[in-house]
Structures are given as C-alpha cells and as structure tokens.
Amino acid sequence: MKIDIVTIFPDMFSGFLNESIIKRAIEKGYLEVNLIDFRTYSNNKHFKVDDYPYGGGQGMVLTPEPIFNAVRDIEGWKDAKKIMLTPQGRQYKQADASRYSEMKHLILLCGHYEGFDERIRSLVDEEMSIGDYILTGGELGSMIITDSVVRLLDGVLGNELSHQEDSFSNVLLEGPQYTRPADFEGMKVPDVLLNGHHKNIGIFRKKESIRRTYLRRPDLLNKLDDNEFKILKVVKSEEY
C-alpha cells in the first residue's frame, strides 16, 4: 500500500514512521509512506499557504493553489482515494479502516489554521473526522488513520488473527485480558482461563466482551446476533 500525506508539518511524523508496526511494515515492503510539504508548492515568494477569509472573520484559511499543486504532483493521484482530515467530516470508524485497507493508494490531506478554502473540497473523495473535538491540524488524524489501516494489511501483524479480536472489529469491545502472574497482590486471574477448556474459555470471553460493551458502549449493542442477544440478557440479569 502507498500512503501520501499532504501536510505543512512533515517533521511531526518522524517518530510515528520510525517506531513499532509502521516501521516494520515499511521495512518489509508492505507500506510506502510519502510526506508532501504543500508549502513548497506555493507560488508566493514567502511560501505562504494561507490568507484572510473573504467576508471577514477570525483566523486564516488555507489557499487552494498550493494544495491543488501538491496533490496533482503525486503519481497516480487521480486513481487514489483522497481523504480530507476535517472536524466537519464523517466520524471515522473501524469499518472505514477495513475499507481503506483494501485500497492500493491513499492520499491524506491535513488541514491547519481555520480550515480549507471551500474549493479544495472538490479535490477529495471523502472527508473524515476522528472525533468531536478540535485539534490544531489534521496531522494526528492522519497518523490515526494510517495506523488503523496498516495493521489490517496482510502480513503486517505477527498474528493474523489478533486484529480480528480487537475492539470494534466485531462490533463488540474486547473483553478483559490477563497474563502472568496468576495472582498479583490478591487479584487473581479467573479460574476458567487457567483450566485449558477452550470451549468454556470462548464462552467466558464472549460474555465478558458483551458485558464490557453493555457497560461502556451500549450504543454498539444494536448489531448483536441472536446468540449474542441471549448472552446480553444473562449479563443484564447479573447486574441486579
């Protein structure tokens, strides 16, 4: 997969691209990431990329010219999925990560200042927000999208099943996890996880996953199948 990130702060990505899963994915050839500083595409002698908004108002607005120039200079840009990071976009979900992971080329456009000149929106395919809060720019959002997509690529994770059990991959939140020691300061690992009975372990994990979702994210429960709904009824009865 190829991901081009269009930003005026490429140095923000140094640590992100040189650690952990992203670094390994690049080294193994599963991923190519290019950082495009759209400031270098400005025709202004001072490389200015923003200006005052027409009609007045606070702050500065990103001008269209350098961003159009930068994106159009990316090889294969017309066929790529072009995504604008903006608080006005649709909220990013795990389903979007799965969808993007099937694509060969993504272009992530990071905003800054008070936003984009409206005409820049004609350049992109989708607008995404990572949550109902305001950040200084789209760089952190582009890192989140990149990380969530790359870990779904075949071969990137050591255990190909691990991402399938993550929270949101199967609608439900992931249940509690334990490791050694079995008893830490009187806090013990549930016996069912120690007895080696795989069927019972599976039932326990499903039940605890539903319990955690019920307690923390009940809005996700409307997508349960019939068997999971029966487990939910048991979980609810245990709350009283």
pLDDT, tens digit, for every residue of 109-164? 998 888 899 999 999 999 999 999 989 999 999 999 999 999 999 999 965 545 45
90 is catalytic: no
- For the cut 70, the answer to whether the pLDDT of residue 45 exceeds it is yes
- For residue 74, count CB atoms less than 10 angstroms from its CB and return exposed for 0-12, middle for 13-18, buried for 19 or more: middle
Structural domain including 178 reads 170-237
Q: Which of 100, 120, 150 is the C-terminal boundary of a domain? A: 150
72 is catalytic: no
Mean of the per-residue pLDDT values of the chain = 93
**Distance (Å, rounded) from C-alpha 154 to C-alpha 3?**
16
117 is catalytic: no
Give a yes or no: residue 84 inside a domain: yes
Shared-domain flag, residues 103 and 203: no
Do the beta carbons of residue 146 and residue 103 sit within 8 Å? no
More confident residue, 105 or 170: 105
Half-sphere CA count of 168, side-chain side, radius 13 A: 9
| Active-site option among 151, 208, 211, 228 | 151
Q: Which helix (H) or strand (E) holds 62?
A: strand 61-62
pLDDT at residue 58 in the model:
85
Residue-by-residue DSSP string for 5-23? EEES-GGGGHHHHTSHHHH
Q: Which pTM value belongs to this model?
A: 0.87
| Active-site option among 65, 73, 114, 174 | 114
Confidence of residue 171 (pLDDT cuts 50, 70, 90): confident
151 is catalytic: yes
pLDDT at residue 223 in the model:
85
| Active-site option among 10, 37, 87, 228 | 87
CATH number of the domain to which 232 belongs:
1.10.1270.20
The number of folded domains in the chain is 2
Which DSSP letter does residue 180 get?
A: S
Q: Which helix (H) or strand (E) holds 86?
A: strand 81-91
